[in-house]
Amino acid sequence: MKKVPVPVSKKLIAVLAAVGAVLWLAAAAAAAYCGRILYKEKIKCDFLIQQEKWLDTLDDYRAVCAGYENAGVFCFAEKFEQDENGKTVYEQTVSAEAIAEYESVYSDFNSYYYYDKLTPGEQLLYKAYEYASDNCFGCIFVDNDAVDPSVDYVRVSMCLSLDSAVISQNLWMSNNNYKEGVANSDRADITYDDEIYGSITVNKPGYRSVVYSFSEVSPDRRAESIEAARRIAESAPDITDELERARYLYVTLCDSITYDLDYAGDDELYDTLVNHRGRCDGFSNALSLIYNIAGITCAEKLTYDHTWVSFCADGVWYNADPTYDCHYDYEIAPRALNIGFGFSDAYTRGAYRYENIAPECTGNTLFANCRVVATDEIESIMDVMVESIAENGGLYGFVQISKADYRDALNAVFEGIDKCPDGFDPGIDIYEFRSGFFIFLVEHELY
């Protein structure tokens, strides 16, 4: 049978089309609405992600800044100067790590005896001062993150001067334009060039000290002084006995130097070794330099008004003080007694600084055969003196007395001076030590 198509009403078609359109529009609207929600969520999500990244970056930046803030530094300048805002002008900044690894260009002429006795914090400050001296920086800023301000910076700098033959003990430390020897609190702006974050500036609290003698040093003069000391050190004959080699170098130096009562130089080492004039500080630095070049272990000692050298020979420490055997302006020859060579601490004059870490000298040469004259023997002091003159080849005699007996003993010597051997034209010399005096009678030809 043949199928006949069912006619569709035009009206029904229109209804169905309208419904479809509505459904399509509804679907489109729903899709648009959902897309909008999704877009907003995406924006929100992207923002949260970016914010998290930004916060992570901020944390990293803060961590980098904190690292710079906590990193210890030292700042240096040739002289103490301030800008228009009252801030100290520093020319160079060096990290604490670099200072800790620093090796002085003059290390061969330093004993580092005192350095080895210091705490780690003191040793770091010691090296900072050594760096300043080597590079002629007189103004030093010490960051509190590098060295605690409670560290005694004067003690540390003095230990450096006692170790180093090229640094004067006369440091002239101060804050401003007057020389008083205390440290000022200070702040320094330190700028770091960071690879990721660019320039980062941190403000560091610390303290400033000024060491005039560091900025006044002449490297050329140091080099000339070292060369002069080397010539003396290399002039010694082949002496295998360490004590006698030390004595030879001591006498060689003393024979060439004159104590200048009116000395006003600014480089005592140079003036001693090149100009052959000076005072105890230059003399002790010169002898220390000669001994270091010659391979003789030594370290300097200091009282509040005098400096000399301690040295080690065959495992025994002795004192050597060239001031006692140098020329004097009013004499034409050295004393020639070597009374400043090879004595123990018992014969030093009063207490010296840093006794708790200074070398303990127990060796004694010249005074080993000295006669001790007791209080009840003062009247016969010249009899003992005559015996001593005979024991010392007719050149000199000496006796030891207590400080309480000094005046009576000296009067007894004057009263009995005619007891000296025939031909012995006596000159009186007096040497003070911790518990008493030595009275010398010296044949004038020695002077």
pLDDT in tens, 182-218: 568 999 999 999 888 888 899 999 999 888 888 888 9
- Per the structure block, which two tokens stand in for 7? 């006619």
Please tell me the least confidently modeled range out of 101-110, 131-140, 323-332: 323-332
SS3 1: coil
CB 96 within 8 A of CB 72: yes
User: Based on the domain organization, do 162 and 232 belong to the same domain?
Assistant: no
- Per the structure block, which two tokens stand in for 212? 């005039």
Asked which of 309, 338, 368 is the last residue of a domain, the reply is: 368
Q: Looking at the domain assignment, is residue 3 inside a domain?
A: no
Q: Looking at the domain assignment, is residue 44 inside a domain?
A: no
User: Based on the domain organization, do 335 and 223 belong to the same domain?
Assistant: yes
Asked which of 191, 215, 239 is the last residue of a domain, the reply is: 215
Residue range of the domain that includes 444:
370-447
323: CATH: 3.10.620
User: Based on the domain organization, do 145 and 179 belong to the same domain?
Assistant: yes
Q: Looking at the domain assignment, is residue 172 inside a domain?
A: yes
User: Based on the domain organization, do 238 and 362 belong to the same domain?
Assistant: yes
What is the rounded distance in angstroms from the CA atom of residue 178 to the CA atom of residue 173?
9
User: Based on the domain organization, do 300 and 281 belong to the same domain?
Assistant: yes
SS3 384: helix
User: Based on the domain organization, do 294 and 318 belong to the same domain?
Assistant: yes
DSSP 8-state symbol, 314: T
User: Based on the domain organization, do 385 and 441 belong to the same domain?
Assistant: yes
What is the rounded distance in angstroms from the CA atom of residue 131 to the CA atom of residue 418?
60
What is the rounded distance in angstroms from the CA atom of residue 235 to the CA atom of residue 289?
14
pLDDT level of residue 179 (50, 70, 90 thresholds): very low
DSSP 8-state symbol, 145: T
User: Based on the domain organization, do 311 and 244 belong to the same domain?
Assistant: yes
Instruction: Give 384-429 pLDDT, tens digit per residue.
Output: 999 999 998 888 899 999 999 999 999 999 999 999 999 898 888 8
What is the rounded distance in angstroms from the CA atom of residue 12 to the CA atom of residue 304?
123
Instruction: Give 256-303 pLDDT, tens digit per residue.
Output: 999 887 777 778 999 999 999 999 999 999 999 999 999 999 999 988
Q: Looking at the domain assignment, is residue 23 inside a domain?
A: no
Q: Looking at the domain assignment, is residue 314 inside a domain?
A: yes
Instruction: Give 217-247 pLDDT, tens digit per residue.
Output: 899 999 999 999 999 999 989 888 999 999 9
145/11: higher pLDDT = 145
User: Based on the domain organization, do 361 and 234 belong to the same domain?
Assistant: yes
DSSP 8-state symbol, 323: G
- Per the structure block, which two tokens stand in for 404? 């309480």
Q: Is the dihedral of CA 433, 437, 443, 447 positive or negative?
A: positive
DSSP 8-state symbol, 376: G
User: Based on the domain organization, do 324 and 408 belong to the same domain?
Assistant: no
**Residue 215 neighbours by CB distance under 10 Å:** 18
Q: Which residues pair with 184 in a beta bridge?
A: 208
CB 237 within 8 A of CB 257: no
Q: Looking at the domain assignment, is residue 41 inside a domain?
A: no
The torsion defined by the Cα of 75, 79, 85 and 86, in degrees rounded to 10, comes to: 90
What is the rounded distance in angstroms from the CA atom of residue 205 to the CA atom of residue 168?
29
Asked which of 368, 387, 421 is the last residue of a domain, the reply is: 368
Q: Looking at the domain assignment, is residue 424 inside a domain?
A: yes
In which element (H, E) is residue 439 found? strand 436-443
∠ CA 22-23-29 to the nearest 5 degrees? 90
Please tell me the least confidently modeled range out of 14-18, 120-124, 191-195, 206-210: 14-18
DSSP percent split of the chain into helix, strand, coil, nearest 5: 45, 20, 35
CA 357 to chain centre: 15
Q: Looking at the domain assignment, is residue 36 inside a domain?
A: no
- Per the structure block, which two tokens stand in for 19? 């419904």
User: Based on the domain organization, do 233 and 209 belong to the same domain?
Assistant: no
- Amino acid type, 179: K
407: CATH: 3.30.110
- Please state the domain count of the chain: 3
User: Based on the domain organization, do 303 and 317 belong to the same domain?
Assistant: yes
CB 337 within 8 A of CB 370: no
- Per the structure block, which two tokens stand in for 183? 């440290």
- Compute the mean pLDDT over every residue in the chain, rounded to the nearest whole number: 85
Burial state string for 320-345 with b = 16 or more CB within 10 A and e = fewer than 16 = bbbbbbbbeeeeeebbbbbbbbbbbb
Q: pTM of the entire structure?
A: 0.81
What is the rounded distance in angstroms from the CA atom of residue 299 to the CA atom of residue 287?
10
In which element (H, E) is residue 131 found? helix 120-134
SS3 194: strand
- Amino acid type, 57: T
SS3 95: strand
- The pairing of beta strand 371-372 with beta strand 426-432: unpaired
- Per the structure block, which two tokens stand in for 88? 């100290």
- Per the structure block, which two tokens stand in for 99? 């200072």
Which pLDDT value is given to residue 415? Answer: 94
**Residue 47 neighbours by CB distance under 10 Å:** 10
Q: Which residues pair with 298 in a beta bridge?
A: 311
Q: Is the dihedral of CA 313, 326, 352, 354 positive or negative?
A: negative
